[in-house]
Amino acid sequence: MRPTTWIIGGALLLAGLGTGGYVYLNGDQREPVRYKTAKIERGTVTQAVTATGTINPVTTVQVGSQVSGIIKHLYADFNSVVKVGQVVAQIDPAPFQTAVTQMEANLQNALGNLAGSRTNLALQKLNFDRAKALFAQQLNAQQDVDNARAAYETSEANLLIAEAQVKQARAQLDTAKVNLEYTTIHSPVNGIVISRNVDVGQTVAASFQAPVLFTIAKDLTKMQVDTNVSESDIGGITEGKSASFVVDAYPNQVFKGKVTQVRNAPITVQNVVTYNVVIGVDNPDLQLRPGMTASVSIIVARREDVLRIPNQALRFKPTLAKGLTRIETQAASGSPEGGAKGGSAESRGRPGAEGKAKPMVWLPHPEGEPTAVEVRTGVTDGKYTELVEGSLKEGDEVIIGLDTPRGPHGGSFGSLPPGFGSQPSERPSSRTPKGL
């Protein structure tokens, strides 16, 4: 055989090997699907309802004025500690003292009229008795007797009128004295003044309602949080449930309390129905002040030492994951077909694909497709869900996501939808789930 033939044959062989290697290295290669897993573990699952409320004193008393007048003195100010019966304000008493003097004079006049009526009655009785005696002796006419009787009865009526006038004058005097006493305003409770609404020299008018001069908190060591909870969350909230909250003034301190009242009166704002939930809290150091805004978390259910499943495992769907892998792989190779059909075909055969899907998780298989396991779940805290019933046990691994496929230059093909895991370079989110 000629050397030229060997050279040509060797060149063809090298060309074939090169073409095969190029096709092998650059052809449509599909890497096996790789899943991320997490273990079933024991722990605590706490379900909570969050809301925003306002801190208020348990008992707040508004001190007003029963009479109108000019504020002459103020004996209490903001943050003043007051006792029961302590004088906190004085309205100018001069007009009311004048009214008392006038009513005393009216009473004296009425008493004088009463004395005159009694004297006249005694006189008319004597005249009547005398007229009857003379008539018995036939010394006067019947008309004289009748006139004496009429005068006597009139005197009796005048006496009753005079007695009523005395009672009326006494009542008016008592009213004037009460109004005079109302000019001195006392504290009705022991507490702290949290609001003062008047100044010295200001005129208060009590025509239709008593004007509020002070607002006194009875006891600031006992506070309450008034918060509104939506109708969708109110079902699990009852009296005695534990609650916690934070305020902006102390962002690193968590305050504890209990639900003391769930009010049945609905509050409707723009077709959203909420209910007022009152949370009692102790405030021995007086850190909490009236009017502060509290971010409240009410514990609805708590399960301790139970098997719990990561919520990512319950959201994971391997059918969608395989369809996503095919689409991304074909996007890298330039092929426009295949991914969507495969996903939809397998989803038709997946249990629970039609109608409401039952809760299930997927176990990885080292040499085949993932295995579906149906479970029954309980309370959830947004990150973990209680495993109530199922064949899973502590330590079992469940699929929580899909490893992101890599592009030809080592980069990833975009981000995956929720339930398919995070990018390898991303860290799990530390955001507190809703309800905690």
pLDDT tens per residue across span 290-306: 999 999 999 998 889 89
Q: What is the largest CA-CA distance in the chain?
A: 194
Q: Where do the structural domains in the chain lie, given as residue ranges?
A: 49-59+219-304, 60-92+183-218, 94-182
**What is the C-alpha separation between 417 and 61, in angstroms, rounded?**
56
Listed in sequence order, the residues at least 6 apart from 402 whose beta carbon sits closer than 8 Å to its beta carbon are 33, 34, 35, 36, 321, 324, 325, 416, 420, 421
CA distance linking residue 12 with residue 6, whole number of Å: 10
Separation of alpha carbons 59 and 102, rounded Å: 41
The stretch 255-277 carries a mean pLDDT of: 94
Q: SS3 of 29, please?
A: coil
CA distance 218 to 188: 10
Q: Give 356-368 pLDDT, tens digit per residue.
A: 567 888 888 777 6
Confidence of residue 137 (pLDDT cuts 50, 70, 90): confident
- The beta strands (E) that lie in 58-108 are given as 60-64, 69-74, 81-82, 87-91
> In one letter, which amino acid is 260?
T
Question: Residue 368 has which token pair?
Answer: 């085949």
- Taking the C-alpha atoms of residue 385 and residue 377, their distance in angstroms, rounded to an integer, is 7
CA torsion sign for 85, 89, 93, 96 is negative
Sign of CA dihedral 95, 97, 99, 105: negative
Q: Render pLDDT for 380-389 as a digit per residue (tens, 0 to 9).
A: 888 999 998 8
Q: Please, are residues 245 and 257 in contact by the beta-carbon 8 Å criterion?
A: yes
Give the contacts of 175 (CB within 8 A, at least 6 positions apart): 103
Highest mean pLDDT pick, 23-32, 128-137, 367-376: 128-137
65 contacts 213 by C-beta, under 8 angstroms: yes
Whether the predicted model's global pTM rises above the 0.75 cut = no
H-assigned helices in 43-141: 94-136
Q: Would you give the DSSP letter of residue 415?
A: P
Give bridge partners of residue 212 from the DSSP assignment. Answer: 64
Q: Which CATH superfamily is domain 49-59+219-304 in?
A: Efflux pump adaptor protein, beta barrel domain (2.40.30.170)
| C-alpha to C-alpha distance for 327 and 323, rounded to whole angstroms | 6
Average pLDDT for 159-165: 95
* Residue 197 CB coordination number (10 Å): 14
CATH number of 60-92+183-218: 2.40.50.100
Between 4 and 399, where is the model more confident? 399
pLDDT digits (tens, 9 = 90+) for 211-255: 899 999 998 999 999 999 999 999 889 999 999 999 999 999 999
